[in-house]
Every structure is written in structure tokens, then in C-alpha cells.
Structure 1
Amino acid sequence: MAHRRRPSLALLASWLAVIVIVLVSLLGKSSAAADFWLDEFTTDGDVRIDHDHASGQKVASLILDRRSGAGFNSTQKYLFGEFSVEMKLIPGNSAGTVTSFYLTSGEGDDHDEIDMEFMGNSSGAPTVLNTNVWASGDGKKEHQFDLWFDPSADFHRYTIIWNRNNVIFQVDGVTLRVFPRYADLPYPDARPMAVHATLWDGSYWATLKGQIKIDWASAPFVVSYRDYTADACAVVGHGRTDCPAGSDGRWMNRVPDDTDRLTVAWAKRNCLQYNYCDDGWRFPKGFPGECSRS
């Protein structure tokens, strides 16, 4: 009978070295993913940082259960910019949940805010994207859209462009809404804002105006974020901002072009399911000033 040769100590050592290198490499990728989110954001609740090796993307997942929701917010504040992230929403019955990607200057009565909120749905119903703009505490400017795809089946890109001229909301590069600036009306142009993302229980209003609550038997609910970018003017202290080179040509002077106007008109015809400028019950004393101009 032939005897198998035992591997030499030198060969075993080389194998162990290879294994260590592989493990260090994998851990390094995971650590890099964690470092990115932990360096850029503070977190609250159950936030899990992973590295998706299939796509090579860093992924931050927010978890909602009976105990609490979750969120993260940027440590940096900005005054104008283009903010973008890919998100994969809750599959199945997500009724009562609210997922968000937004900018805000804080919690005060005179705060500024720009919102993209995704209101959960019963299985099979469209997911509603709620967009809103607050300026000096003046809000109630919602446009709500039925998304034309399943946002839980894959990642999709959601973008807020905020400059001196307008706020532009995009989904997968398609402009759905433009909120223009008017010199005599409130506009968010003075208060620096941080970037936030949250997942929380909005049962009291999110789905059919609160008629359908969260089914906790389906918990935990998970929303994943990846490929976040902020091409923006960072506030660096004493009111000074540091704008990236070339921002004037990318987003600072961005206004709607012909393509934007076409896609906004398409979204209005096919996806818009609520427009505050049509809600006379909400504004019995007259619509906000911009309603008669846009």
C-alpha cells in the first residue's frame, strides 16, 4: 500500500499564511465598509454595516422591530449640493412603515427640510414616495407619487439636488418634481442641513392615512442603503462653505431643462396621487403663494 506523504511544516506554514491573508483581506473590506459609514454618519437604533461582495458596495441596513426604529445622520452639514443614495426597500407587507432620505437643519419651529419619504404599503399596492420642502418652518408642500416599479426587488437611486434656484427630486435619474425659488416666498437657502435616513413606525399616517397599521408578525423590517454620495458645499465653520471644484457646472446652477420638463409632466399624468396645491380642504383660506405660479 502506498503511503501518503505528510505535508512539510514549511508547506503548512505557507498554507496558513495564505489563509491569514485571505481573512485579513475580507475583514479589511468589511472594516472599510464600517469605517465609511461610521466616519460619515452617527447612527441610532439597529444599524448594520456590511460589505456586499457580489456588487462590491458598502451597505448600511436599518432595522425596525417592536423595540425601536433606526437611522443615521451625517456628521457634516451642507449649504447646497447634490445628494444621492441607492436604496432597497422593505419587501412584502410594509404597511405602516416610513423610510426616508432627507436633509434638515434641525428640529426648531423655523427649521428647513427637504424630504423623500417612502410610505409602506400592503402587499401588491404601489409604494408612495412623499416629497416635501420646508423653509423657515413653513412646510405642507407635499407631492406624493406612486412608484412605477417595485422598490424592494432591487436597489434604485434617489437624488435631491438643492441649489439657489430650485430643489429637484429624482428617481433613477428621472426628474419627478421641481420646487422653484421665488424671491418673495420662503425658500431653504440660509440654514445648513445634515443628511438623514430613518426607518420608523408611521402607522398613524403612512398607509391610507393611517387606516392600515404595521403587522408586527412580519418584523423585523429591513431597508438597505448603499453608494451614498454628497457632491455638496460643506460648512467649515463661521458660516464659511467649501464647495467642490466644478460644482457650478454640475449642480449649483442647475435648472430644469426640456428633458426635466417632459419627465415632470409624465410623472404628473401617471404617478402623482397627491398635490398640496389641489387640497382646498387643507388650505381653506387660500393656497400657498407658489401654487398660482408653478
Structure 2
Amino acid sequence: MDFLRKMLATLILCVMLLSLSVSAKPATFLQDFKVAWEDSHVKVVEGGAAIQLRLDQNSGCGFASKYKYMYGRVSMKIKLVPGDSAGTVTAFYMNSDADVTHNELDFEFLGNRSGQPYTVQTNVFAEGKGEREQRVNLWFDPSLAYHTYSILWNHHHIVFMVDEVPIRVYKNNEAKGIPYPKSTPMGVYSTLWEADNWATRGGLEKIDWSKAPFLAYYRDFDIEGCPVPGPMSCTSNPSNLWERSPTYTDLTPVQARAYRWVRMNHMVYDYCTDKPRYPVPPPECVAGFY
């Protein structure tokens, strides 16, 4: 644990130094987001600093960004449903919402029975092809306090991060014929909904409505990216350091060590190693990860 604390401290310092040179666009809910589903279940709290999502027997809910982005980095601080949350899913994701070519990058937090680890499922839909799930048990209780969840998406790779610790990397391997999200801009979304047919232990644990309402909280929205349509494209905007800086084209050595630590100690499912499901590993799995 001492090694992990030192590693996380180094990561935080690197992020603070990087923030001095990267021009971020702090997002506010009213300016940059809208309620996408069930207004009565989305509530501004904490003096306007946070958003509460509510799930009960009547409905779940969700919100969406007003703009779509073509590459970027999005972050949110989330405090997940506490206690017995089995059968619920709290999601934070990017989605092209396109009929022709579907691209999507998912964080899905799977509810649990009290006392069990909280599992986060990530998934990548690239040019219409999905079913690339990985699951990681979080190494802390995400319902006790806010933690930062981030998605970096650029020409080089997609990185899912928890408190700046990488938990998933999906490389751009187009040169090897592997689809990569690039053809459609994506919006930013979050939802809280019932999924007790699969969310907890494959659907064995059902939602206990006597514990409702189930509440999740969001704050400190941060979007760095190119809105589409926008005044300047990603390829022509020199200020997009998140796209061009070496810091964003590869994992740092510290990040790479943290990523290996997560995969070795906290990964509980990887579609790449699911032989009953994929007797022949998908091509991106053969291409390799960090």
C-alpha cells in the first residue's frame, strides 16, 4: 500500500503540473448540460454545485451535454449510490447517438449488495461494433465521497481513469484493420437506471425497492475538447495540448505502473480472456494492451 500511496501522490503532482499548461474548459450544468430524461428526478443540490440523480419505482433519469465533441477529455466527480444498490446502474459515458455509425465509451457502475466491492464496467463501441466489456473492482468505497472519473479520447488511444489512475486503455490499431471511434462526434451523458436482469452477479441479485430512492451525485464537470459544430476543428487548433502533447499520446511510466497494478489486482473480467465467449480472441486483444 505504501507503494500505491507514493504512486498516486506522484500522479496527482503530475496532473497539477499539467493543468498549468493545458487550457481546460470548466463546464457548468446549466450552461453545458440539459436534462435528457425525467426532469422530476434530476435535482440541483449543494447550493448549485452538484446534481442529484434519483431512481425509484416510477423512473430513473439522466442528463446530456448540449454539444458533441470530436476528441477530447471529459471528467466528472461522482458519488455513487450507497448501501444496498444491487440491480442499479449509474452510468457516465460518451455516445455518438448516430443511426449510421455508433461509437460509445462507457463507464457503468454496477450496484452491489452491502459490503461487496463496487464494480465498474467499461465498454468500447467502435464504428458500430461493441461487446468489449472489462470489469474492475474499485479499491475504495465510491459511495462515501466524490471521486473523479475521466475519459480521454484522441487519435492515439482511449483511456478510462479513476482518480487519474488508468483502468482501461484501448489503442488505435486502425493500421491493423481494427475499428477505432473516429467518424462521429460524441456527446457526454449520465444516467441512473434499473438493470437487475444483469447488473449484479449476472442478474442473480435483484433490486430491493424498499431501499429506494437510490441517489447518485455529480459535480465538477470538466470538458476539454472541440465542440461540433465549432469555430475551429481539432486538427487546426494549436491549443489542443490534450491531443498533441506527448503526455496525452502515451501513458507515463508512473501511469503504466498504476495500470499494471489495477489489471493484476482488481480486474475481475476481461472479454479478451473469455474463451467460452470468444474461442478465438478478438483482433484488438491479439494486438495487445499497455
Name the residue aligned to 1:15.
none
Matched residue type, 2:281? F
Shift of 1:221: 0.4
1-structure distance, mates of 2:178, 2:194: 33
2-structure distance, mates of 1:252, 1:76: 22
Name the residue aligned to 1:211.
204
Shift of 1:110: 3.0
Matched residue type, 2:44? I
Q: 1:234 aligns with which of 227, 252, 269?
A: 227
Kept in 2: contact 1:119–1:207 (CA 8 A):
yes
The DSSP-based 3-state class of the residue aligned with 2:262 is: helix
Q: 1:192 aligns with which of 185, 209, 215?
A: 185
The DSSP-based 3-state class of the residue aligned with 2:285 is: helix
Shift of 1:282: 1.2
Name the residue aligned to 2:283.
289
Q: 1:224 aligns with which of 217, 221, 228?
A: 217
1-structure distance, mates of 2:143, 2:156: 33
The DSSP-based 3-state class of the residue aligned with 1:292 is: helix
Which stretch of structure 1 is more off in the superposition, 239-248 or 96-105? 239-248
The DSSP-based 3-state class of the residue aligned with 2:259 is: helix
1-structure distance, mates of 2:282, 2:167: 20
TM-score (norm 1): 0.82
Which runs of structure 2 are paired with 1:152-191 in the superposition (5 Å)? Answer: 152-183=143-174, 184-191=177-184
Shift of 1:280: 1.2
Name the residue aligned to 1:247.
240
Kept in 2: contact 1:60–1:225 (CA 8 A):
yes
The DSSP-based 3-state class of the residue aligned with 2:220 is: strand
Name the residue aligned to 2:13.
none
1-structure distance, mates of 2:33, 2:118: 27
Matched residue type, 2:150? T
2-structure distance, mates of 1:160, 1:37: 18
Distance 1:127 1:116, change over 3 A: same
Matched residue type, 2:140? F
1:10-55: CA deviation from partner (whole Å, max 9, x where unpaired) = xxxxxxxxxxxxxxxxxxxxxxxxx942331121221001234xxx
Answer yes or no: is 1:263 the counterpart of 2:258. yes
The DSSP-based 3-state class of the residue aligned with 1:170 is: strand
Kept in 1: contact 2:101–2:183 (CA 8 A):
no
Shift of 1:157: 0.4
- Equivalenced residue count is 254
1-structure distance, mates of 2:119, 2:244: 29
Shift of 1:58: 1.1
Which stretch of structure 1 is more off in the superposition, 38-47 or 194-203? 38-47
1:168-221: CA deviation from partner (whole Å, max 9, x where unpaired) = 111011111211010221000121000000000010110000000110000000
Kept in 2: contact 1:82–1:232 (CA 8 A):
yes
Name the residue aligned to 1:276.
271
TM-score (norm 2): 0.83
Kept in 1: contact 2:133–2:270 (CA 8 A):
yes
Q: 1:48 aligns with which of 35, 43, 46?
A: 43
Which runs of structure 2 are paired with 1:26-65 in the superposition (5 Å)? Answer: 36-43=28-35, 44-45=37-38, 46-52=41-47, 58-65=49-56
Distance 1:101 1:94, change over 3 A: same
2-structure distance, mates of 1:222, 1:272: 26
Shift of 1:278: 0.5
Answer yes or no: is 1:202 the counterpart of 2:195. yes
2-structure distance, mates of 1:87, 1:64: 16
Q: Which runs of 5+ in 2 are unaligned?
A: 1-26
CA RMSD of aligned residues (A): 2.0
Matched residue type, 1:125? Q
Q: 1:136 aligns with which of 127, 135, 141?
A: 127
Distance 1:88 1:274, change over 3 A: same
The DSSP-based 3-state class of the residue aligned with 2:81 is: coil
Distance 1:280 1:70, change over 3 A: same
The DSSP-based 3-state class of the residue aligned with 2:256 is: helix
Matched residue type, 2:271? Y
Q: Which runs of 5+ in 1 are unaligned?
A: 1-34
- Between structure 1 and structure 2, the one with the greater Rg is 1
- Identify the structure with bigger relative contact order (alpha carbons < 8 Å, sequence gap 6+): 2
2-structure distance, mates of 1:110, 1:59: 33
